[in-house]
Amino acid sequence: MAVKIRLARRGRKKLARFDVVIADARAPRDGRFIEKIGTYNPLTVPASIELDEEKAFQWLMNGAQPSETVKAMLSYRGVMLRKHLQIGVIKGAFSQEEADRRLTEWKQAKEAKIQAKRERVVDTKKAQAQARKEAEAKIREARAEAIRKKAEAAAATTSESTPAESEAQTSETAADTEG
């Protein structure tokens, strides 16, 4: 029986989430599986991968073949490197302690990279929000200036009318109210 590590789709339309499953190669994509070892959500930035690395490593060492996407995820999490290092230990290229040290160093460097990306995303969002606020402030100022100019123009037209005209208008309105 050929065993695969692959993704099974969950979630609704345009909001896909995936389960990382161990399944027979002949089983349908969302059908029967042997074991669920994690989840994958591609909609977050960066994509969130929750994976039982021990089980994934165990299945890889027993011969399970990952799909291309799952292989990339396993590489991202260091499981493929761990398998590579374990094969080196089995062949006698280096000791188990050396393999563990290399894996730990790699994971620390990778975690620093991931954290830097998260911080970069947060900083970018803050910068975009600040730029939007500044643009809105400029628009608000421009509108206030336009309203002020209109008010000045209206005041200028009313003050331009002569005092005799003003008197005539007031006497007309007084006559209208009496009659």
Q: What is the pLDDT of residue 154?
A: 86
Q: What is the pLDDT of residue 46?
A: 79
Place of tokens 């309105």: 173
Q: What is the pLDDT of residue 169?
A: 57
Domain ranges within the chain, ordered by starting residue: 3-93, 94-157
SS3 53: helix
2-11 burial, b at 16+ Cβ within 10 Å, e below that, comes to ebbbbbbeee
**Helices and strands in the chain, H and E counts:** 5, 5
Angle, helices 79-91/96-160, rounded to nearest 10 degrees: 160
- Peptide linkage before 46 cis (omega within 30 of 0): yes
Give 10-residue mean pLDDT values along the chain (179 residues): 90 92 90 93 88 94 94 93 93 91 94 91 93 93 91 84 56 57
Query: Quick one: tokens of 84?
Result: 């590579």
Q: What is the pLDDT of residue 131?
A: 94
Specify which residues 10 forms β-bridges with: 17
SS3 138: helix
Number of C-alpha atoms within 13 angstroms, CB side, residue 94? Answer: 11
Per-residue model confidence as pLDDT tens digits over 31-71: 889 999 999 999 987 789 999 999 999 999 999 999 999 99
Instruction: Give the whole-angstrom CA distance, residue 34 versus residue 27.
Output: 10
Q: What is the pLDDT of residue 31?
A: 85
Where does 3-93 sit in CATH, by number?
3.30.1320.10
Query: Quick one: tokens of 83?
Result: 């398998």
What distance separates the 2 farthest-apart alpha carbons in the chain? Answer: 117
